[in-house]
Amino acid sequence: MNSVLIAVCIMLALSLARVHVVIALIIATFAGGLLSGLGTLGTLNNFNSGLGAGATVALSYAFLGAFAVAISRSGIPDLLAGQVLKKLDKKQGENPALARTICYGVMAALLVMAVCSQNLIPIHIAFIPLLVPPLLLVTQKLKLDRRAIACVLTFGLITPYMFLPVGFGSIYLNDILLVNLQESGADVSGVSVIRAMALPALGMLAGLLIAVFISYRKPREYSDKKLKRAEHTEVKYSGRSLAVSGVAVITAFVVQLMFDSMVLGALVGFVIFSISGVIRWKQADDVFVEGMKMMANVGFIMITASGFAAVMRATGDIQSLVDTSATLIDNSKALGALMMLLVGLVITLGVGSSFSTVPIIAAIFVPLALQLGFSPLAIVTLVGTAGALGDAGSPASDSTLGPTAGLNADGQHNHIWDTVVPTFLHYNLPLLAGGWVAAMLL
């Protein structure tokens, strides 16, 4: 029995059984280590040595969480939500064509905000509870299907980080994907991640267009009795606080690009909020801790996943798993690519985080991909797509939990049937096809 395969299956089974991912990873780590003959001490040593690989990413999330809370305290989200509501209220009418235009306008605004939350203003899902609930009254009047909004938000939360190496995309593509591929034996120096992930990103775009213009185009009724404006604590803002926010965001973005460091960029942005007085000095500690709490879960998962991957490499069973897999697919590149993508889909569905999946699958897939003769560009595509597969459609993913948190403010949006199932069908299938085609062509 292959210890790596057993460890992955245990991790997946426990995750699907709703055991916390960190606990599932630790249990699977010891199961794999002990079965391989490493022993308790050997497993612990390798696990501890691997934890450091995820520390940089976890620290980035902690600072980004603090930066996100600081932005929310500045009043920008309240300003944006208020302006959208005013314009929509003025244009509301009985004209069907106008109503449809407004529907698309609402979805376009949410899409832009979701994209910016991953790259330009890296606050991840923190904007959803601020902007979405106040818009539910308008979407109900327009009879806009919330499943379409869920698909729009999930697209904006996933596609930017898997395609653009900025913000969270820098973490996923540069700090996680390329680093783990290099450590697993693939020479990916000089590889363009944008070129590698272009076709998979187009698959995501196709899914979005199908969801918005075909699947969920028809009006959908929601109960007036259940609908109510969700509780929303408004933050007072001024021209000065908004100006400081703009300076902080732009500076953080520039610093991030100059030094290729999300930690430094977020730190500089947070410091600007503090020294400007928008975040009072005596409140800075509370704001920073609040932001760290918001991102702590994801950070711990990624640190633990790095330790898990280190133990899997130390077992020595990866090569035997690769040899067996190559034999089963009869050294077929087409079948090999499909198998790797499907395995990535299943693992990410269980783990709920593509950022945590990459360290796990890279250690297994890179040797197999090299043996099958895939180019470095194709390997980046395969592992990058395999990691992203399942983020849309996983019940435990931030990319589905976030949209549900906003759309279900009045209790009329089911997490599984209105977010998870629609995003799974519209994104995982075209992403799977796009990743496979790209791997075969590159």
SS (H, E, C) 320-380: HHHHHHHHHCCCCHHHHHHHHHHHHHHHHHHHCCHHHHHHHHHHHHHHHHHHHCCCHHHHH
Compute the distance between CA of residue 138 and CA of residue 144 in angstroms, rounded to an integer.
9
Q: Examine the pLDDT at 342 and tell me if it is beyond 60.
A: yes
CA-nearest of 349, 394, 398 to 61 is: 398
Name the residue type at position 308. F
Residue matched to tokens 């973005």: 253
Average of pLDDT values for 363-378? Answer: 88
Q: What's the gap between Cα 344 and its chain centre? A: 15
Cα 2 to Cα 6, 9, 34, 43, distances in angstroms: 6, 11, 12, 16
Compute the distance between CA of residue 391 and CA of residue 250 in angstroms, rounded to an integer.
29
Compute, in degrees rounded to 10, the torsion defined by CA atoms 266, 268, 271, 277: -100
Range picked from 140-144, 306-310, 323-327, 423-427 for highest mean pLDDT: 423-427
Give the DSSP letter string of 7-32.
Answer: HHHHHHHHHHTT--HHHHHHHHHHHH
pLDDT grade for 347, boundaries at 50, 70 and 90: confident
In this predicted model, which residue has the larger pLDDT, 32 or 394?
32
Compute the distance between CA of residue 2 and CA of residue 325 in angstroms, rounded to an integer.
12
Q: Examine the pLDDT at 25 and tell me if it is beyond 90.
A: no
pLDDT grade for 230, boundaries at 50, 70 and 90: very low
pLDDT grade for 315, boundaries at 50, 70 and 90: confident
Check residue 21 and give left, alpha or beta (phi > 0: left; psi -120 to 50: alpha): alpha
pLDDT grade for 438, boundaries at 50, 70 and 90: very high
Compute the distance between CA of residue 227 and CA of residue 48 in angstroms, rounded to an integer.
50
**What Rg, from alpha-carbon coordinates, does the chain have?**
22
Compute the distance between CA of residue 264 and CA of residue 260 in angstroms, rounded to an integer.
9
Token pair for 256:
């991030």
Compute the distance between CA of residue 418 and CA of residue 414 in angstroms, rounded to an integer.
5
Residue matched to tokens 């049937």: 417
Give the DSSP letter string of 45-74.
Answer: HHHHHHHGGGHHHHHHHHHHHHHHHHHHHH
Token pair for 311:
């133990």
3-state secondary structure of 171: helix
Compute, in degrees rounded to 10, the torsion defined by CA atoms 92, 95, 100, 102: -20
Compute the distance between CA of residue 138 and CA of residue 153 in angstroms, rounded to an integer.
17
Q: Examine the pLDDT at 177 and tell me if it is beyond 70.
A: yes
Q: What is the pLDDT of residue 45?
A: 92
Compute the distance between CA of residue 103 and CA of residue 422 in angstroms, rounded to an integer.
19
pLDDT grade for 234, boundaries at 50, 70 and 90: low
Q: Is the dihedral of CA 299, 302, 306, 312 positive or negative?
A: positive
Compute the distance between CA of residue 251 and CA of residue 238 in angstroms, rounded to an integer.
20
Average of pLDDT values for 141-164? Answer: 90
Q: Examine the pLDDT at 297 and tell me if it is beyond 70.
A: no
Mean pLDDT of the chain: 80
Residue matched to tokens 């944006």: 80
Q: What digits encode the pLDDT tens for the residues 61-80?
A: 677 777 777 776 776 656 66
**Continuous segment of H or E residues that includes residue 379:** helix 376-388
Burial class (CB in 10 A: 0-12, 13-18, 19+), 72: buried
Q: Is the pTM of this model over 0.75?
A: no
CA-nearest of 34, 6, 38, 5 to 314 is: 38
Q: What is the pLDDT of residue 96?
A: 62
pLDDT grade for 229, boundaries at 50, 70 and 90: very low
Compute the distance between CA of residue 279 and CA of residue 277 in angstroms, rounded to an integer.
5
**Continuous segment of H or E residues that includes residue 43:** helix 39-51
CA-nearest of 435, 387, 366 to 186 is: 366
pLDDT grade for 367, boundaries at 50, 70 and 90: confident
Burial class (CB in 10 A: 0-12, 13-18, 19+), 346: middle
Q: Any residues with CB less than 8 A from the CB of 345 and at least 6 apart, and which?
A: 386, 389, 390, 428, 432
Compute the distance between CA of residue 430 and CA of residue 209 in angstroms, rounded to an integer.
11
Residue matched to tokens 């989200």: 77
Q: What is the pLDDT of residue 436?
A: 95
Q: What is the pLDDT of residue 427?
A: 94
In this predicted model, which residue has the larger pLDDT, 85 or 201?
201
Q: Examine the pLDDT at 309 and tell me if it is beyond 50.
A: yes
Burial class (CB in 10 A: 0-12, 13-18, 19+), 209: middle
In this predicted model, which residue has the larger pLDDT, 95 or 119?
119
In this predicted model, which residue has the larger pLDDT, 375 or 414?
375
Q: Examine the pLDDT at 336 and tell me if it is beyond 60.
A: yes
